[in-house]
Amino acid sequence: MRFHELALDDEILAGVDAAGFEECTEVQEKAIPHILSGRDVAVQSQTGTGKTAAFLLPIFHLIRHNETYANLQALVIAPTRELAHQIRDEADMLGENLGIKTAVVYGGVGYGPQIDALKANPNIIVGTPGRLIDLNQSHHLDFRAVGILVIDEADRLFDMGFYPDLRKMLKRMRDRKERLNMLFSATLSVKARNIAWEHMNDPVEIEIHPEQVTVDRVKQTLYHVASAEKMSLFLGLLKKHQPRNALIFTNTKRAAEIVAKRMERNGYPTEFIIGDLPQKKRLNIIRRIKAGQTQFLVATDVAARGLHINALDMVFNYDLPEDPEAYVHRIGRTARAGESGHAVTLACERFVYSLDAIEKLIGQSIPAERYDESELETDVSAGERITTRRSDDGRSGGSRGGPRDASRRRSGGRSHGGTHSHGGGHRGGRGPRGAGDRRRSESGERRSETAPPRRADQTRRTEQPHPRGERKSASAPRRGDTVEERIAYYRAKYGEDFKPTDEMLKNVPKDKPRRKPAAKRPKTKQPTRQSASRPALPGGGKAATEVAMNEADTSKPKKRRGIIARLFGA
């Protein structure tokens, strides 16, 4: 089925065309009609089957044309900040000219910008459970205003321990009959079905099998390569294979731009496509690559989803994907319509950890090949600063290439392309200015930028030398010392032959013994008296009366009479 056969308005279909989508995937074909009719859906679908567009496109249509949702918000709950960002990027790409605002919220960063985004009253909110609950409890997010709910990758939410949080959020929302509910999960487990039974309205169950790749028609090759040699090896492989056309995948938008510009510097006319390119430009790029006018295209997973290029010669995974199913989706761009294809993957130290999961998913080991120095091509852009439109967190940024720069980069950085390094240092280390990444601790919390960790060569204030020179010794001469004491100090310090000057002896008191403090007189007990005519004080007892009388005895007569009158009421 084609998208134009769905009951979507023309402006939404224009965004679909600009993204390069033509044919609906199975999940889109089966889910979108039910959602547009107002039915809840529970979908068993793997990543890479097009499920994000399956819920975004009908949400766009309902917000624009259904009065029920005109003043309500759509909420998409995602398990990770990476997926939340990916959903927001795809929403921006598909709905660029629709006037629909999307906000993304997640933990590990400051609240301020996210609160500001919520104050703008977005149509769609994408977020992770912990931050969503925090914002709700601080009254910055109202769950009662949610009219459309999407629970994405429910199985991962449950595996990460978010099941109680998810139920807590659902209980704070309006009644399920007043919401449109969608649940997407790799498996419809018991917990997923419990959520569907408790908080959804008799949902339509849809089961989608992941896209399968005919491996015997795709030649797969893997190279283990250090980040410092990644671009040089990639250029060498392009020279070796000389493909008619190729699609190169990176894991981030900024990496796509940098790789494309480095290829240009090395004589390979290349374009890049990322989710936040203007719609007109994105549409022109897709048109040129399909018409054979563009030989090389660098893309991210979001931008390339649904992109079909006839007779695509090769696919390069410049970055090994972190999502195993993204690998299946990428290499499936070649070897289509019965043709053969070649997929080459470069596994650097940053992304190699996802290799086991990929091989487990496809049911085989990817054949690995070694390379030698002769296969490395000189990168003429090495050491050159590459300026990008924006970094992955929205700031402008640049990248330098070359081994020297590679050694400075840290595994927490986001710079790609050239001979940059994805690793080579502890996470969170200091990177180059303008890299645009936010340093975070292992827990994901942002480190303080105003109070960096103490370096090894820094010492505490108490260990620093005295600000006015050497600290004075406790036995140094003081103003009140006698002449003998002062001379003894200097002779001990400078030798027995030392002779003090008049200046040294200035202000020294006369040689006379210090006056000892007077000895304290022992306290004597005063004889106690008790009035014969007055009884002891009520509640005070005999001791209290005696104390008062003693005080009266040591006082002047007038004062004594006043005390007695106060005590006994006389």
pLDDT at residue 123, rounded to an integer: 95
Residue 274 has pLDDT above 80, yes or no: yes
Are residues 298 and 263 in contact, defined by beta-carbon separation less than 8 angstroms?
yes
- Asked if residue 411 lies in contact with residue 439, where contact means CB atoms within 8 angstroms, the answer is no
Q: Do 245 and 292 meet the contact criterion of CB atoms below 8 Å apart?
A: yes
Mean pLDDT, rounded, for 406-417? 38
DSSP state of 22: -
CA distance 423 to 225: 12
Q: Which CATH superfamily is domain 3-207 in?
A: P-loop containing nucleotide triphosphate hydrolases (3.40.50.300)
pLDDT in tens, 200-246: 999 999 998 755 545 567 899 999 999 999 999 999 999 999 999 99
In this predicted model, what pLDDT tens digit does every residue of 134-177 receive, in sequence order? 999 999 999 999 999 999 989 889 888 899 999 999 999 999 99
Q: Hey, is 537 helix, strand or coil?
A: strand
What percentage of the chain exceeds 90 in pLDDT? 38
Phi/psi of residue 219, each to 5°? -80, 120
Angle at 438 between CA 434 and CA 440, to 5 degrees: 145
Query: Domain coordinates of the chain in residue numbers?
Result: 3-207, 215-408, 537-570
Rounded mean pLDDT of 300-309? 70
In sequence order, what are the beta bridge partners of 364? none
Do 215-408 and 3-207 have the same topology in CATH?
A: yes
Nearest one of 19, 24, 20 to 4, comparing CA atoms: 24
CATH of 215-408, one of 2.40.128.50, 3.40.50.300, 3.90.1580.10, 3.40.47.10: 3.40.50.300
pLDDT at 534: 47
pLDDT confidence band for 457 (50 / 70 / 90): very low
- Residue 542 makes CB contacts below 8 A (sequence gap 6+) with 530, 536
| Cα–Cα separations (whole angstroms), residue 547 to 204, 398, 525, 535, 538 | 93, 87, 11, 14, 14
Question: Helices marked H in 266-300 — which ranges?
Answer: 279-290
Q: Say how far apart CA 291 and CA 134 lie, in whole Å.
A: 50
Q: Closest Cα to residue 150, out of 68, 55, 254, 238?
A: 55
**Percent of the residues in the chain that have a pLDDT greater than 70, as a whole number:** 65
Radius of gyration of the chain (CA): 39
Digit-coded pLDDT (tens) for 68-98: 898 899 999 999 887 898 899 899 889 888 9
Summary mean pLDDT of the chain:
76
Cβ-proximal residues to 113 (8 Å cutoff; 6+ apart), any chain: none
Q: Average pLDDT of 444-451?
A: 34
How large is the average pLDDT for residues 543-551? Answer: 53
Q: Are 195 and 164 in contact (CB under 8 A)?
A: no
pLDDT at 417: 42
Give the ranges where 37-128 is alpha helix by DSSP (H): 51-65, 81-94, 112-119
Amino acid code (one letter) for 563:
I
Using 50, 70 and 90 to split pLDDT, how confident is the model at 503? low
Does residue 403 surpass a pLDDT of 80? no
